[in-house]
Structure formats: C-alpha cells, structure tokens
Chains A and B, each alone.
Chain A
Amino acid sequence: MSKRKPLSTGSEWTFELLEKYDTAIAKEAAHFQLDTYPNQIEVITSEQMMDAYSSVGMPLNYNHWSFGKQFVSTHQNYRRGHMGLAYEIVINSSPCIAYLMEENTMTMQALVIAHACYGHNSFFKGNYLFRTWTNATSIIDYLLFAKHYIAKCEERHGIDEVEALLDSCHALMNYGVNRYKRPSPISTEEEQKRQQTRSEILQQQVNELWNTIPKPQTEEHEREQPRFPREPEENLLYFLEKNAPLLEPWQREIIRIVRKVSQYFYPQKQTQVMNEGWACFWHYTLLHSLYDKGLVTDGFMMEFLHSHSSVIYQPPYDSPHFSGINPYTLGYHMMQDLRRICEHPSDEDREWFPEIAGKDWLEVMDGAMRNYKDESFIQQFLSPKLMRDLHLFSVVDDDSKNHLLVGAIHNESGYTELRRELAEQYNLGTREPNIQVYNVNVRGDRALTLRHFQHNSRPLGDSTDEMLKHVRRLWGFDVHLESVRHDEVIKTWHCPPKEETPSAA
C-alpha cells in the first residue's frame, strides 16, 4: 500500500487546510454513501460561540430574558474555567451550518467537520422524524420572521407585555407539539401573507365560539352539553392559540411562533442517542479511513482518540461524575455494535437479530438511521453483548415499598426486560407528564379544565401551581387541573386557588 503524504503535520489550522480536510473527509463520506445537505462551515470565536449557546444554538432568534440568563451563566462559567465550550454547534438547516471555534487545533477541526458536517448532517437529512417534522430549508427564514414580528409587537405593545406572554408560552413549550399531524413547510413571505389573513379569520372564529347572542329557543332544551373540546387536546399551546377567548391576534401569533420553534426541536429531543451515536460513529470511521490512507499523522490520531474517548466515557452509577446514561456512549456503542453484528455475527446475534446478522452493514445502518427514534432504536437493536459490556441493570423505585429493588440485570433472563425498560426511558411520552385539555365550561364561567393522566402513579411536581398561573394568563379565565389515576381524580389544582373540595368531574 502506497503511503501518501499527510495533509498537515502541525496543530495550527488555516483556511486552506480546512478546505483540504473537508475535501478529503467528503471523499470518504461519499465512499460510505452518506447523503448530506450542502455544508456551510463557519469559523467563530469563543464569544460568538457563547452567543450561539444562548439562543438555543440558532444563528438568530427573538429576544427574551431567558436567553440572556443563559448567556450570563455561560459567560460566567466559562470565565471562571468551570466549563469548556462545546467544540461545535450544528444547525439542522439547508445548507447545514456548522460552527467551528477558532481556538481548536487542526485535529479538533477535522473531528468536528467529520462529526457535524457529515455525521449530524446526514442524520438530519435522512431520519424520518426530521424529514416529517422539520423543514431544513425554511427554518432560518422562519426565525427571521419571528424575530421581526416579535420586535414589532414589543414596539407596539411594550416589552413587558410581550415578555410575560413569552414566559407563559415557554413554560408550556413542551406542550406545544403536534405528535401526529405533520406541519406543512412555508417560507417567510408566505408566512407573512398568511399571518395577515390568519389573524383576521382567527379572531372571527373565536368570537363565534364565545358568541353570547341567544340561539333559537328550540335548541335551548336542557340536554347534556357536549364537552368542548370534543376530543381531549394534548397540544395545549395549539388549543390556547385557537380558542383562548381574550387573546389579541398578535398574542395568538406569538403563541404560534413558540409552538413552531418547539415543533422544530421536537425531533432532536427524540433522537439524541441516535443522532450523537451516528455522528460519533462516523467521525470515528471517517478519520480512521483517512489514517489508513496515510493522510493524517500518528500524532493526529492520538489527539483525536483522546478526545473521542473522553466524549464517549460513561462513568458508572456510583461515580461522583455520574449524571445518567451518556447518550454519546450508548449511541456510539450501539452503532458500532450494529456494524459488528453485520460483519462478524456471533451465534447469539444470529438468534437475536436473524434479519440483520451477516447482512451488508452500510445498508443496515442506513436503514436504522432513517427509520427509528431513540425509543424504537433501543428496543430494536440493543444487543445482549452491549448490555453486558455496559453492565446495565435496572432499579425499581416504588414509593409504597421501603427499599429499592434491582429488577433486570445483564443476564439471560434479564435482557428483554432491561431493553424494554431502557427504551421506555427514552419515550418522551413517559418522561413528561401527560397533560391534556379536557373540558371548557363554555356556557358558564369559561373555566378551562386540564387533566393529568398518571403513568405508574407518578404525581406532578411542585411547580404545578406556578404552571397553572401561566396557563391562566393565556386562557384569561379560571383554570383547573385534575390528576387522574385509573379514571379516578386523585388531586386537583386551581388557579386562582380555592378551597380543596372534592372535584365534580
């Protein structure tokens, strides 16, 4: 094998070198059939990185104090050396924007290019959640629209008013997501046009619902009023945007903006393990194949492997550094494991994964990347070997018992159970309390009733009262929340608070 000259030997980077590395990595990526959006690699300073941090990683965003808080704390931690900054931020847009920090060495820049510009990028383009929920070409446009629109509202209605509204929207952000209906992508101009017409129509519709002009007497016969909404609504922000009686059109529009942004980030929340695992797998694979061709030096590889292994380090449960399962570790190892099962399957693998063992690994991994999210990916592909390697075990914490109980561990009888439980841990549906709009007292005091459906008898946390205030601000009238276990109301909250009485559900 003819050794070629390495691309560079020093640790300093230059723009020419970045381009050379990018070209070399792109060639390898093409060889492995990675399908990506075009890349836009931006070199930034650490200050700019902190700016990017505090606007949830987006290149532009509307203004809000919470972003300022984020910035202040990042800045403070960074100055005191409590925290390093991430080496990169990558944005799911087309072209895919990746930020490189100027302080990084050439090795780190190459690692980041491989990780973000080819790993994450191909994931953004391929995974079904991103394909369904987000529109990479229009997100920057939309944020621009949102920024201008909110700035205009601040001018017209005052910063305080807009800020209070945004606070409430942010609090409910996790409940502003359509889980099943797909939004249609549109651009800025369209959005602006639609916004005009929408605000008019919307206001009319709301007025229709709250119309107090009496209907013809015949219909007024006392009958069981149908509940409104007829079906419970899980997208609280959507419900409030469309039905809250007192909101002005601009307020509805702002709720909508928060909802859209939340929707944009929804797939990222559901694919963290896979996304990072995929990106780590590819930076590892791509840089190794550069090394095999003699394009990078031994020193380069040592530096790369050092940071690679610290990224995918998993402290054990009893370590002071332990803070849950490291998604990089889990994802990376699952991806590597998938390749191993395809290339060198053991008998156990043949038994557990008959449909992929010994198949073409590129095809299998591509399929896995495209068609799964964290929950289903783990459920489908976590192998007994990996559970053994990571020494996984599950703990059952039942508040009616005095002790914690060790459930399944990494042995023959535990694999299936362990895998199911780990997968469940990544199910957003069980991580966040399940709260839905249950009823509106349309003919009475207009009170809104939310219902929390308990899962595994887990109650709501202590922020609930605070949260109801936010809901009330948006709804404009009284708000009640009922916590329901097995069709039975266990606990109720009210805003404004009232004496605890048995709720008449």
Chain B
Amino acid sequence: MSYIIDRRLNGKNKSSVNRQRFMRRYRQHIKRAVADAIKQRSITDLDSGSEVTIPNRDISEPLFHHGKGGINHRVFPGNKEFVTGDRIPRPEGGGGGGGGGKASDSGEGEDDFVFQINRDEFLEFLFEDLELPHMVKKQLQDSGDYKLTQAGFTSQGNPERLNIIRSLRSAHARRIALSGSTRREIRMLEQEQQELMALAELTEQQNQRLGEIELRLIELRSKVSRLPFLDTFDLRYNNLIRTPVPSSKAVMFCVMDVSGSMTQSIKDTAKRFFLLLYLFLQRAYKRIDVVFIRHHTQAKEVDEEEFFYSRETGGTIVSSAVALTGEVIAERYPPSQWNIYVAQASDGDNWDGDSDACRQLLFERVMPFVQYYAYVEITTGEHQNLWFEYEKVRSAFPDSFAMQKIESPGDIYPVFRELFSRKEA
C-alpha cells in the first residue's frame, strides 16, 4: 500500500536556519568579501547581492584519514593494455593516498568555496557594527501613523466586531439572573406536587391545592420561556483603539559644492558617499526624504539629476549652502518631527573669510536641530581654512558632528565606517 502526498506546498526554507549558522560562522570572510566588493562596484549596483569566496582550508571539516605512503592496492576498470607485472611510472601528484590513487580522484580540495549572498545580507554585512548616532524616534501626532490595538470590549459597535462568545456569555448570565426567583418557585412547587402525588389518597383540600399548583406552574414556566434568548444589551463588541506609533521619518540633506574646482570624479566620489548614507538610513527609517542642495557662490535646492550632472562654474561660498539648509529645516522639517541628517561633500575650497561665517551659521541655525552632520573633504591636497573652522565645530558638538577626508574612491567605505562606527558609551 502506498500513500502519495503532495508536499510542494510545504515550506521550502527548511535550511535557512542552517544557512544562517553557516553565515554566522564565516562572518569575517563574508565581511572581507563585502568590503572588497564595495571598492570595485559602481554606484548603481551597490544595491545587489554579492559573491563570497572562502578558502577551502578554512571551511573543511576534518576527519581521520590516511595520508600518502604505505602500500595501496587499488582496482581499476577499463584495462586495455596492461598485463600482470607491468610497471607504470607514478603519476604526477597522485602517489596513491588513501583512496586517492590516480590524479582525477584528488582533484578537489584546491578550489575555493564560493557562494552568493543576497541584497539584504549584503547590506547587513556592509553596515554591520555601524550605528546611527543619536537616533531619536520622534513622536508624531498628525501623520496618521496609527496602529489599531485591542483594548477590551464595548457594548456598542460595528456588527463586524461582534464578539460572539462574550455576547452569549452575558446573555446566559442575564437569563440566569432574571429567572432566578421564578425557577426557585417552580422547584418548590414541583417538590410539593411530587409529595402530594405520592400520597395514597388526597383530601379535598389537597386536591384543590394540586390544581392550584398546576395552574401556577404553567404560568411560571411560560414566564421563564418568555425571557429573550439574546437581548440587545447582551451584545459585546471588540474594542479597538488607535495608538500613535513613534515616527520613523528621516530627512537627509545632501550638500555638495559644484564650483569649478569640483571635477566629475570628485562628484562621483561624493555621490557614492551619499548613496551609502542613503542605503544606511533606509535600514533604520521607514520613510526618508532626500533634499539636494548644491552651491557655488549661491546655493540652490535641486533634484537629483541636476544635483549630480549639471555643470556650473564659479567661485565658492559654502555658507550659502549652510544657510539654505538651515532655512529648509526651519520651513519644512520641524526637528520635533523629523530625524535630520546632513552630509556635506566638498573639495575643501572656500572663499576666504566665508569659512568663519559657515561656522557661525552651523552653530546657530543647523547644529542644534540635526541628528548628525557628516562632512567629507574629497581632496588629495592640504587642508584649507574651511577644515580648520569645521574642527572648531567638531569640538563644540563632538557627538553630532563628524568630518573625514577622502583621497580616493577606495577610501569611501572605510571613511563611511569611521564616521558611523558604533561608539562605546
């Protein structure tokens, strides 16, 4: 007798736990592979999975086995020319280990173990040990960010929320309560009736009493049966209330210098940096607004396309961008409701005398409201006055202001890690 069962609908990810265990064990390898991948990738496919290679010797599971040497006998198929007593030169590398013998059998062992990780895993390893500084979940009342939660029962409500068990239970209780005295009387009368019936012969009086009892019983029983099985005030409804959930909204300001000194390659580097930051924020916040602000001598809020690709030349006044950032925050992103992150990229050039103004603006208009301000200077040259002014800002806001220098695209990821590395409390 055979049973044929269709198991195709059963879960197919039975091995996912084992897979996670495997990934957990080889974290170091995977992290290294991810860090390598990020250096080689172009910006556009930063968002996909990656291939991970682990040397086989790191991953093998040892067993006791025979080594080379000793006397091995082995039987082979497909003899064409040999007769007993023939001598064959020892094949290269083979030598005949335990079960090894001819070269083809010992072919494995040299290849590396290669496998694929998906996008989520890739990002997880990419941002491992990184942390959003001072991530405060802001409370937001008017966003409609509500969650319905069960909160007891009510006597009024929508029919679809009717709680049948509760309703019938209260109906039952009501019926018991309202019919209590009647039923007690019925019980007593029934008992009296029994006693009277048990007698051998009845007196006139007793006979009359029996008749009375019967009439009274009929009356009482109909009274009990008239009690409604379910009444409107028995009905109970599930009560759902709306509880506001903390907002997880963030806004990210990308501030970039587009003056003549910024070449396309510097802008590319900046773009990668912004992209990393965006991916990173995406993991922490459900909704992210991105504001692009570019500046030369004047700052302007633009869309992404223009931000990265349109070219303009001119001098550089960084304070214009900082001022605009402050304005946008004041206008559209009240700090009580938004988590604000600013990332600024520049080659470090600034008009002399403006850097001081930048510092002033940062102190007054920007730094008090933001979660984190990250400044990267993409240059191979010496630091200029902007850097030194910013250093003053850093010493005033050591927790929420960070600055790093990027020299080549390969630095982006390490610098990024540096900026967001988990700080010991």
Asked if A467 meets B18 with Cβ closer than 8 Å, knowing A45-B8, A395-B76, the reply is no
Shortest distance in angstroms between B90's beta carbon and chain A's nearest beta carbon?
Answer: 6
Is the pair A463, B63 in contact by a Cβ cutoff of 8 Å? yes
Q: Which of A413-431 contact B (CB under 8 A)?
A: 413-414, 418, 421-422, 424-425, 431
Bound Cα distance A411, B5 (Å): 52
Q: Shortest Cβ distance from B258 into chain A, in angstroms?
A: 44
Does A209 count as interface, using CB distance less than 8 angstroms?
no
Among residues 84 to 135 in chain A, which have CB atoms less than 8 Å away from a CB atom of chain B?
95, 99, 102, 117
Stretch in A181-189, A248-256, A297-305, A454-462 touching the partner: A454-462
Cβ-defined contact, A407 with B84, below 8 A: yes
Distance in Å from the Cβ of B26 to the closest Cβ of chain A? 8
* A459-B61 contact given A317-B77, A390-B77, CB 8 Å threshold: no
B102 & A71 in contact (Cβ 8 Å cutoff): no
Given A68-B15, A458-B98, CB of A422 within 8 Å of CB of B63: no
List residues of chain A with CB within 8 A of the CB of B18. Answer: 54-55, 63-65, 67-68, 70-71
Distance of A322 from chain B, by nearest CB (Å): 5
Per-position binary interface string of chain B over residues 60-87, scored 1 when its CB falls under 8 Å from any chain A CB and 0 otherwise: 1111111111111111111110111111
- A464 and B82 alpha carbons, distance in the complex (Å): 37
Choice from A50, A391, A432 contacting B80 with Cβ under 8 Å: A391
User: Would you call B228 an interface residue if the criterion is a C-beta within 8 Å of the partner chain's C-beta atoms?
Assistant: no
The interface-forming segment of A167-175, A200-208, A222-230, A438-446 is A167-175
Known A-B contacts A51-B12, A76-B116; A470 and B6 likewise in contact (beta carbons under 8 Å): no
Residue A476 interfacial (CB < 8 Å): no
Q: Using Cβ atoms and an 8 Å threshold, which residues of chain A touch B332?
A: none
B2 touches A73 (CB 8 A): no
Q: In whole angstroms, how far apart are the Cα atoms of A355 and B318 in the complex?
A: 102
* Interface hits, A366-413 → B, CB 8 Å: 390-399, 402-411, 413
Docked-complex contact B115 and A319, CB < 8 angstroms: no
Residues of B within 8 A of A393 (CB): 75-76, 79, 82
- Could you tell me if A396 and B10 are in contact, using CB atoms closer than 8 angstroms? no
B364 CB to closest chain A CB, in angstroms? 51
Pairwise interchain contact A95-B77, C-beta atoms closer than 8 A: no
Looking at B71, B77, B83, B99, the one whose CB has the most chain A CB atoms below 10 A away is B77
Contacts of A322 in B (CB 8 A): 78, 102, 104
Distance from A46 Cβ to chain B, minimum over Cβ atoms (Å) = 9
Q: Is the CB of A15 within 8 A of B4?
A: yes
Shortest CB distance A310–B (Å): 16
Query: CA A47 – CA B75 in complex, angstroms?
Result: 38
Chain B residue, CB-CB nearest to A435: B64
A314 to B104: give the CA distance in the assembly, Å: 14
- Contact present for B84 and A458 (CB under 8 Å): no
Count chain B CB atoms within 10 A of each CB in A44, A99, A329 and give the residue with the most: A44
B88 touches A18 (CB 8 A): no
Q: Is A63 a contact partner of B2 (Cβ separation < 8 A)?
A: no
Residues of chain B lying within 8 A (CB to CB) of residue A319: 78
State the Cβ distance, A333 to closest chain B Cβ, in Å.
Answer: 11
Q: How far is the CA of A243 from the CA of B206 in the complex (A)?
A: 92
Fill in one digit per residue for A35-71: 1 if any B CB lies within 8 Å of its CB, else 0. Answer: 0001111111101101100110000100111111111
Interface residue? B176 (CB, 8 A):
no
Contact between chains at A394 and B88 (CB < 8 Å): no
Would B2 and A406 count as touching, CB distance under 8 A?
Answer: no
Q: Which residues of B contact A308 (CB under 8 A)?
A: none
Question: With contacts A65-B25, A457-B69 known, is A40 near B64, CB below 8 A?
Answer: no
Residue of chain B at shortest CB distance from A54: B15
Q: Please, what's the 1-or-0 string for B111-124, where 1 marks a CB less than 8 Å from any CB in chain A?
A: 00111100000000
The 8 Å CB contact of B21, one of A68, A102, A318, is: A68
A42-B5, A43-B4 are contacts. A175–B64 as well, Cβ < 8 Å? Answer: yes
Q: Is the contact region of chain A dominated by helix, strand, or loop, or is it mixed?
A: mixed
Are A159 and B64 within 8 A (Cβ)? Answer: no
B50 CB to nearest chain A CB (Å): 13
B222 within 8 A of A: no
Min CB distance B93 to A, Å, is: 13
Q: Answer yes or no: B334 CB below 8 A from chain A CBs.
A: no
Does A68 lie within 8 Å of B70, measured CB to CB? no
A396 touches B73 (CB 8 A): yes
Question: Is the Cβ of B12 less than 8 Å from the Cβ of A406?
Answer: no
Which one of B64, B86, B116 contacts A432 once the chains associate, using CB atoms below 8 Å? B64
List residues of A (337-366) whose CB comes within 8 Å of B's CBs: none
In the bound complex, residues from chain A placing their C-beta under 8 Å from that of B240 are: none
Query: Closest CB of chain B to A501's CB: distance in Å?
Result: 22
CB-CB under 8 A for A76 and B90, given A38-B2, A174-B63, A325-B77: no
Name which residue of chain A comes closest to B73, CB basis.
A421
Give Cα A126 to B35, complex, Å.
56
Docked-complex contact B88 and A404, CB < 8 angstroms: yes
In the complex, which residues of chain A have a beta carbon less than 8 angstroms from the beta carbon of B8?
43-45, 48, 102
> Which residue of chain B has the shortest Cβ distance to A49 in the bound complex?
B12
Interface residues of B in 311-353 (CB under 8 A from A): none
Q: Write the nearest CB–CB distance from B414 to chain A, whole angstroms.
A: 28
Q: Which residue of B lies closest to A455 (CB)?
A: B70
Given contacts A15-B6, A397-B95, A456-B70, contact A72 B19 (CB under 8 A): yes
Q: Which residues of A contact B101 (CB under 8 A)?
A: 324, 395, 397
Partner of A425, one of B75, B102, B115: B75
- The reply to whether the CB of A155 lies closer than 8 angstroms to some CB of chain B is no
Tell me which residues from 1 to 25 in chain B have a Cβ below 8 Å from any Cβ of chain A: 1-8, 10, 12-15, 17-25
Q: Is the CB of A395 within 8 A of B64?
A: no
B152 CB within 8 Å of chain A: no
B342 CB, nearest partner CB in chain A, Å: 40
CB distance from A168 to the nearest CB of B (A): 10
Check: A320 CB closer than 8 A to any chain B CB.
Answer: yes
A39 touches B99 (CB 8 A): no
What's the Cα separation between A152 and B22 when bound, in Å? 19
| Neighbour of A174 across the interface among B64, B72, B73, CB < 8 A | B64
Q: Residues of B contacting A312 with CB < 8 Å?
A: none
Q: Is the CB of B77 within 8 A of A72?
A: no
In this complex, the member of A79, A167, A314, A406 whose beta carbon has the largest number of chain B beta carbons within 10 angstroms is A406
Whether B86 contacts A41 by the Cβ 8 Å rule is no
Q: Can you report 22 A-B residue pairs in the complex whose CB atoms are below 8 A from each other?
A: A42-B4, A50-B15, A55-B14, A64-B18, A65-B25, A72-B19, A72-B115, A79-B116, A316-B77, A317-B76, A319-B78, A324-B101, A391-B79, A392-B79, A398-B71, A402-B90, A425-B73, A433-B98, A456-B73, A459-B66, A461-B98, A464-B64
Residues of A within 8 A of B (CB): 15, 18-19, 22, 26, 38-45, 47-48, 50-51, 54-55, 60, 63-73, 75-76, 79, 95, 99, 102, 117, 159, 163, 167, 170-171, 173-175, 314-320, 322-325, 329, 390-399, 402-411, 413-414, 418, 421-422, 424-425, 431-433, 435, 454, 456-464, 466-467, 470
The 9 lowest CB-CB distance pairs between A and B, nearest first, are A316-B78, A68-B22, A458-B70, A68-B18, A397-B96, A39-B2, A317-B76, A461-B67, A65-B21
Interface residues of B (CB under 8 A from A): 1-8, 10, 12-15, 17-25, 59-80, 82-90, 95-99, 101-102, 104-105, 113-116
